[in-house]
Amino acid sequence: MSRRIVIIGAHAAGVDAASAARKTDRTAEITLITKQRRAGYSPCGLPFVLGGHIPSFDNLVVFPLSYFQMMKLNLLLETTATNIDVKSKTVEIQDKNGKQETLQYDSLILATGASPFIPPIKGREKPGIYVLRTIEDGERIDQAVRNGAKSAIVMGAGLIGIETAVALRERGLEVTVVELLPQILPAMLDADMAGEVQRMLEEKGIRIMVGKGVEEFLGAEKVTGIVAGGEQLNADLIIAAFGVRANTELARKAGITLGETRGIKTNMRMETNVKDVYAAGDCVECVNLITRRPTLCQLGTTAVRQAKVAGTNAAGGYAVFPGVLGSAVTKLFDTEIGVTGLTEFFAKKAGLETVTGTITSKTRPEYYPGGKGIRIKLVVEKESERIVGAEIIGGEEVTQRVNALSIAIQKHMTVRELAKADTAYAPPLNETWEPMVLAAQVALRRLR
The domain spans of the chain are: 4-115+245-314, 118-242, 336-447
Are the CB atoms for 421 and 434 separated by under 8 Å? yes
| Mean pLDDT of the region 205-209 | 98
Instruction: List, in order, residues 6 or more apart from 369 with CB less than 8 Å away.
Output: none
H or E element in which residue 408 lies: helix 398-410
Q: In sequence order, what DSSP letters do the residues of 117-182 get, joined into one string?
A: ---S-BTTTSS-EE--SSHHHHHHHHHHHHTT--EEEEE--SHHHHHHHHHHHHTT-EEEEEESSS
Helix (H/G/I), strand (E/B), else coil: 441 = helix
Residue 142 and residue 50 in contact, taking contact as beta carbons nearer than 8 Å: yes
User: Which residues are catalytic, by number?
Assistant: 44
- pLDDT at position 198 over 90: yes
Per residue in 425-443, pLDDT (tens digit) is 999 999 999 999 999 999 9
Question: What superfamily would CATH give domain 118-242?
Answer: FAD/NAD(P)-binding domain (3.50.50.60)
Instruction: Please write down the long-range contacts of 263-269, taking CB distance under 8 Å and 24 or more positions apart.
Output: 263/294, 263/296, 264/110, 265/294, 268/309, 268/320, 268/321, 268/322, 269/309, 269/313, 269/318, 269/319, 269/320, 269/321
Instruction: Express each pLDDT in 65-78 by its tens digit.
Output: 999 999 999 999 99
Residue 1: the pLDDT is 87
Per-residue pLDDT averaged across 158-167, rounded?
98
pLDDT of residue 141: 98
Structural class in CATH, domain 336-447: alpha beta
Q: Is the pLDDT of residue 328 over 90?
A: yes
pLDDT value for 108: 98
Q: How far is residue 126's CA from residue 122's CA, in Å, rounded to a whole number?
A: 10
Helix (H) or strand (E) holding 386: none
Helix, strand, coil abundance in the chain, percent, nearest 5? 30, 30, 40
Percent of the chain with pLDDT over 90: 99
Give mean pLDDT, residues 93-118. Answer: 97
d(CA 218, CA 223): 5
H/E segment holding residue 24: helix 12-24
Q: Could you report the per-residue pLDDT of 18-52, keeping only the tens digit for each?
A: 999 999 999 999 999 999 999 999 999 999 999 99
pLDDT in the model for residue 431: 93
pLDDT beyond 90 at 448? no
Same fold, 4-115+245-314 and 118-242: yes
DSSP assignment letter at 200: H
Torsion sign, CA atoms 44, 49, 54, 58: positive
DSSP label at residue 3: P
Nearest alpha-carbon partner for 9 in 42, 43, 39, 37: 39
Query: Which residues is 199 bridged to in the sheet?
Result: none
HSE, CB side, 13 Å, CA atoms: give it for residue 77: 8
- Greatest Cα pair distance, the chain, in angstroms, is 71
Name the 3-class secondary structure at 323: coil
Pick the CATH number of 4-115+245-314 from 3.40.1190.10, 3.50.50.60, 3.30.1370.100, 3.40.640.10: 3.50.50.60
pLDDT over 90 at 251, yes or no: yes
Report in angstroms the alpha-carbon separations of 355 from 333, 341, 384, 442.
31, 14, 11, 10
**389-420 tens-digit pLDDT:** 999 999 999 999 999 999 999 999 999 999 99
CA distance 165 to 238: 11
Mean pLDDT of 107-125: 97
Cα separation of 8 and 103, whole Å? 11
Using CA of residue 39, residue 285, residue 248, residue 23, what is the dihedral sign?
positive
